[in-house]
Amino acid sequence: MLKIENLVTKFGSVVALDGVSMTAHESKITTVIGANGAGKSTLLRTISGLEHPAQGAITWQGESIVGRRPEDIVRLGIAHVPEGHAVISELSVEENISMGSLFRRRKFKSDIAKAMDEMYQLFPRLQERRKQLAGTLSGGERQMLAISRALVSRPQLLLLDEPSLGLAPLVVEQIIDSVNTLCRTTGLTVLLVEQNANTALGVADHGVLLALGKVVADRPAAELKADENLRAAYLGY
Amino acid sequence: MNTFLAALFSGTSRGAIFALVALGLVIVWRGAGIVNFAQMGQAMFSTYIASTLITNGNSYWVGFFVALFAGAAMGALLDILVMRPLSNKKKTELLSSDSMRAAVPVIASLGILGALQALAGILWAAEERGFPAPAKQEGFTFGSNVMPFTAFDLFVISLVALTLVITTLFFKKTGIGLAMRATALNQEVAKLSGIRTNRTRTLSWAISGAASSLAGLLITPTSNLSPNTLDLVLIVGFTAAVVGGLDSPAGAVLGGFILGMVISFVTFYDTPEDVFLSILAVLLLVLLIRPRGILGSKDVRRV
Amino acid sequence: MSNLKAHSIARKSLIRTFLFTVVMLILGSRFDAYNQAQLALVLILFIGVLSVTILTGISGQLSLGQGALMAVGGYSTALMMINYKLSLWIAIPLSIISAGIAGLLLGVAAARLSGPYLAGTTLVIALAIPTLANRFMSVFKGDEGLPVDVGYPPAWFSNTFGEPSYEKWQIYVALPFAAIALFFASNILLSRSGRMWRAIRDNELAASLNGVNYSRQKIYVFIVSATFAGLSGALYGLRGLVGPSVYPVSLSLTLLTAAVLGGIRSISGAFIGTVIVVYLPDWIEKALGNFSLSEQVSNFLPALISSLLLILVVVINPAGVAGTRLHKHK
């Protein structure tokens, strides 16, 4: 379980997160929705250690992770797929995936090939393009690669930042489906940030609505999806 | 014809060394975003260590390997003691701008260069001394003709070729090599993948230090050793790296050989006094026509 | 600070310059011959360090070619004085113009470069330019160089103020130029162009969005900085010789060291840094007076200590000695 209490993150004088409290429950998909600039990405970046909070607590499985470096937080089982299909274009598909498992080479040597095979089973298109440079992939394939890069480390918590960004609806559906299946079959906990609220709420168990760095609503996803007032006020449709 | 061959051979063996220097610069630039102007100061210092060991009766190879190790250690120390604290200071007011963030590490590396040169002067005096070559420096004989190509040239070229093969394999085939490439290309994704980027960066400094020490060991038999001798090599290496593309290891090698040829042909056909002007001309030409170098990638880093 | 009107900027700079001149004159009259020569050297290098402060501290561009620009100033002055028998009071202003032209050429090349590319390119330039002395032997006289000096004061000067010693005359020659340089530097720092150049340093993109044509401004900075370097180089050559050995690459590094040690963003920092660099060998000698050091050690110790200081200042407080005060201003 990931527990966030009163989290504040600032960029200079700009307050991006203004006292956020929320929880991501084990083996569930929790989605954080909200308009552009609501602080959704900052929330994930603060959890994974890329940004340092000004105050507040982040507890993962009973242990505080505030102030740890990103490379240590990954080792605790939290994998972050940042916004914008974050892969390294100059490396091959295979290298991008195996990059995610480098830190497990000593302790889990025998598992690495298996984990990589699972990624190729999850996204068969990546296997076809193993030797290609990541820069030559389509947007959807790059997003699959970024997710594989994170999943190959066998995380317990996946932080997924706007996987739908710039992708065709069909591809989005495919990616979200894969993540959903993974969550239901392996017990992965997912924290999904989305601007596309409908898609996200459709698959999530729980929804958190963020506006200007503050939590406006924190309810079961279905309930949130049905609330037309909130939708009109914060998401504009 | 003989002049042409001589220029070609000398260009190849010099070019091999410049390629090594440029490669050292490129490795640190990719790994840390810093052009290390102290690089050949480190090489000078470790060559002095080798020279001292050899004059005290140790074999050439003892000096050789100790110098390589010293070069690597100096590179790593430099990162840990100076560059890492500096990059952790990004939030200070003076370093808050891009241009100063680029300038301050350069200033630090110049300070290190000055300190190493002064220390070498104190420890080993300023006058030039020779440095031994492990192979003959007389040209091969072909019938009655003496060829403008020596056993030492052959040694230099094969050693550099071996080094290039080993580094390429290291970067392409090993996990640490992959971690280093990932850190160089995208630090954020590297960190999120669990790569300890501080360590891989220190490793790039160490590898670069060893490569430039090797360059120092290979060039001093023909140019003698003094605290300042390798300054010129740094300039040539920098130009070679820019010509090939600062972020491209293959470009560094290409640039090294181009510079080796340019310098060698200017020396043989014109006069050695024009060498610097020709280096400057090559540098300006490349910067004006193709600022990211021949093999540099398009927009990884701003020029 | 940003709302100062032109005349009040000029008044502020004028007051600074006046105080500086008075203090220097008093020091000059109190010092012995050795320290008078040292003071003259401080004044000369101060101008060169100001060129670094303007270029690197204010506009954020790092050049290692200031020594080459100093050589341009030095050679121009020497050639005019030797070949056309011009007085130094005419030759120096003219050579400032030639240094400005060199700065224009450098700036045009530099406008496209930044960071280490600029540093490396200017370093190559600093090495290549002095070799021209050997390339055009008949004009520049190669390694031997061109002997020039400040000569003797004109008759009216000696008649009015008495015959000054050679060292004192060096101060009297350098001081007016240093004062003018200080006045202009102070004006630039407080004025609109100064603010514009700082904007370029802080953020090129934002500056260009605010209508600053940054490549043109970069060239302007180079020209201005080059005139300071050229002036400094002209006076530096007048200490006895203009030749390639007088303007080595290490001279550029000395200027940079001084600017960083004192605080690369301020005029007072430039002066403090210059004093440190010039007097460091004396201080070390005094501090180690009781130890008998070999010549080998004492020759290199100042360079070692100033380099270590440079590293320390950069790592601990990149704003330099005078820099901390400036922080509070903002």
Domains of chain A, residue spans: 2-235
A205 to chain B, closest Cα gap in Å: 26
Dist. CA C285–CA C293, nearest whole Å: 9
Q: How confident is the model at residue B94 (pLDDT cuts 50, 70, 90)?
A: low
**What is the share, in percent, of chain A residues with pLDDT greater than 70?**
99
To test the contact with chain B by mutation, choose from C108, C117, C250 the residue with the greatest count of B C-beta atoms within 10 A, namely: C117
Q: How confident is the model at residue C97 (pLDDT cuts 50, 70, 90)?
A: very high
Asked if B111 reaches chain C (Cβ–Cβ under 8 Å), the answer is: yes
Segment C248-256 shows an average pLDDT of 89
Residue A183 C-alpha from the chain's centroid: 13
Amino acid (one-letter) located at A218: D
CB-based contact A71 B182, cutoff 8 Å: no
Highest averaged pLDDT of the listed ranges C169-178, C208-217, C222-231, C317-326: C222-231
Q: How confident is the model at residue C1 (pLDDT cuts 50, 70, 90)?
A: very low
B187 to chain C, closest Cα gap in Å: 20
Dist. CA B295–CA A69, nearest whole Å: 35
**What is the share, in percent, of chain A residues with pLDDT greater than 90?**
53
* A-chain residue closest to B248, CA distance: A90
* B-chain residue closest to A50, CA distance: B188
Instruction: Please name the chains neighbouring A, where neighbouring means 3+ C-beta pairs under 8 angstroms.
Output: B
Residue B246 C-alpha from the chain's centroid: 12
**What is the share, in percent, of chain C residues with pLDDT greater than 90?**
29
In a domain, C263, yes or no: no
Quick one: angle between helices C267-287 and C295-316, nearest 10?
140
Q: How do residues C114-133 score in pLDDT, each as one tens digit?
A: 778 888 888 888 888 888 88
pLDDT at C2: 45
Q: How do residues A93-116 score in pLDDT, each as one tens digit?
A: 999 999 998 888 877 778 888 888
pLDDT at B95: 61
Q: How do residues B164-218 score in pLDDT, each as one tens digit?
A: 999 999 998 999 999 999 998 888 999 999 999 999 999 999 999 999 999 999 9
CB pairs under 8 A between B and C: 170
- Tokens of residue C183, six digits: 């006045």
For residue C307, give every residue at least 6 positions away whose Cβ sits within 8 Å of its Cβ, in sequence order, or none: B111, B112, B113, B114, B115, B118, C257
Dist. CA C51–CA C57, nearest whole Å: 9
Q: How confident is the model at residue C329 (pLDDT cuts 50, 70, 90)?
A: very low
C42 to chain B, closest Cα gap in Å: 21
pLDDT of residue B96 exceeding 70, the answer is: no
pLDDT at C207: 66
**What is the share, in percent, of chain B residues with pLDDT greater than 70?**
94
Q: Do the beta carbons of residue B31 and residue B277 sit within 8 Å?
A: no
If we measure between CA atoms, which residue out of C171, C178, C176, C22 comes closest to residue C89? Answer: C176
pLDDT at B90: 58
Q: Do the beta carbons of residue B156 and residue B16 sit within 8 Å?
A: yes
pLDDT of residue B270 exceeding 90, the answer is: no
pLDDT at A34: 87
* B-chain residue closest to C205, CA distance: B98
Q: Provide, as residue numbers in chain A, all residues whose Cβ is less than 8 Å from the Cβ of B190.
A: 99
CATH of region B2-132+147-289: 1.10.3470
Domain that holds residue C175: 6-248
Total count of residues recorded for chain B: 303
Q: How confident is the model at residue B299 (pLDDT cuts 50, 70, 90)?
A: very low
Q: Provide, as residue numbers in chain B, all residues whose Cβ is less than 8 Å from the Cβ of A91.
A: 178, 181-182, 185
Q: How do residues A144-160 score in pLDDT, each as one tens digit?
A: 999 999 999 999 999 99
CATH of region A2-235: 3.40.50.300
pLDDT at C145: 83
pLDDT at B148: 73
Highest averaged pLDDT of the listed ranges A6-15, A26-35, C42-51: C42-51
Q: How confident is the model at residue C196 (pLDDT cuts 50, 70, 90)?
A: confident
Q: Provide, as residue numbers in chain B, all residues whose Cβ is less than 8 Å from the Cβ of C134.
A: 273
If we measure between CA atoms, which residue out of C66, C27, C10 comes closest to residue C174? Answer: C27
Residue in C112, C116, C311 nearest the CB of B287: C112
Question: CA distances (Å), A54 to each of A14, A82, C4, in order?
Answer: 12, 21, 37
- Of chain B, the end-to-end C-alpha distance in Å amounts to 41
* B-chain residue closest to A86, CA distance: B189
Q: Do the beta carbons of residue A68 and residue A84 sit within 8 Å?
A: no
For residue B295, give every residue at least 6 positions away whose Cβ sits within 8 Å of its Cβ, in sequence order, or none: B244, B245, B248, B250, B251, B254
Dist. CA C245–CA B97, nearest whole Å: 36
Q: Decide which of B91 and C198 is more confident.
A: C198
pLDDT of residue B23 exceeding 80, the answer is: yes
CB-based contact A90 B190, cutoff 8 Å: no
Q: Which residue has the tokens 């130009």?
A: B239
Chains C and A touch (3+ CB pairs under 8 A): no
Q: How confident is the model at residue B298 (pLDDT cuts 50, 70, 90)?
A: low
pLDDT of residue B25 exceeding 90, the answer is: yes
Q: How confident is the model at residue A188 (pLDDT cuts 50, 70, 90)?
A: very high
Number of other residues whose CB lies within 10 A of the CB of residue A71? 19
pLDDT of residue B124 exceeding 70, the answer is: yes
Radius of gyration of the CA atoms of chain A, in A: 17
Q: Where are the domains positioned within chain B?
A: 2-132+147-289
Q: Decide which of B95 and A23 is more confident.
A: A23
pLDDT of residue C330 exceeding 60, the answer is: no
pLDDT at A76: 94
Q: Do the beta carbons of residue C301 and residue B122 sit within 8 Å?
A: yes
What mean pLDDT value characterizes chain A? 89
CB-based contact B193 A102, cutoff 8 Å: yes
- Tokens of residue B238, six digits: 């920098």
What mean pLDDT value characterizes chain C? 84
- Beta partners for residue C242, in sequence order: C146
* B-chain residue closest to C265, CA distance: B94
Segment B64-75 shows an average pLDDT of 97
Q: Do the beta carbons of residue B163 and residue B183 sit within 8 Å?
A: no
Per the structure, how many domains does chain C have? 1
**Taken in order C129, C133, C138, C139, is the CA torsion positive or negative?**
positive
Dist. CA B212–CA B20, nearest whole Å: 7
Instruction: Please give the full DSSP string across A158-220, using - where no structure is assigned.
Output: EEEE-TTTT--HHHHHHHHHHHHHHHHHH--EEEEEES-HHHHHHH-SEEEEEETTEEEEEEE
Q: Provide, as residue numbers in chain C, all residues whose Cβ is less than 8 Å from the Cβ of B286.
A: none
Q: How do residues B33-55 score in pLDDT, each as one tens digit?
A: 889 999 999 999 999 999 999 99
Dist. CA B135–CA B156, nearest whole Å: 9
Dist. CA C200–CA C184, nearest whole Å: 20
Amino acid (one-letter) located at B139: G
Alpha-helix residue ranges (DSSP H) falling in chain C? 6-30, 33-52, 66-83, 88-110, 115-135, 137-140, 155-161, 166-190, 192-202, 204-209, 214-237, 249-262, 267-287, 295-316, 323-329
Q: How confident is the model at residue C155 (pLDDT cuts 50, 70, 90)?
A: confident
pLDDT at B196: 94
Q: Provide, as residue numbers in chain B, all residues whose Cβ is less than 8 Å from the Cβ of C249.
A: 231
pLDDT at A236: 67
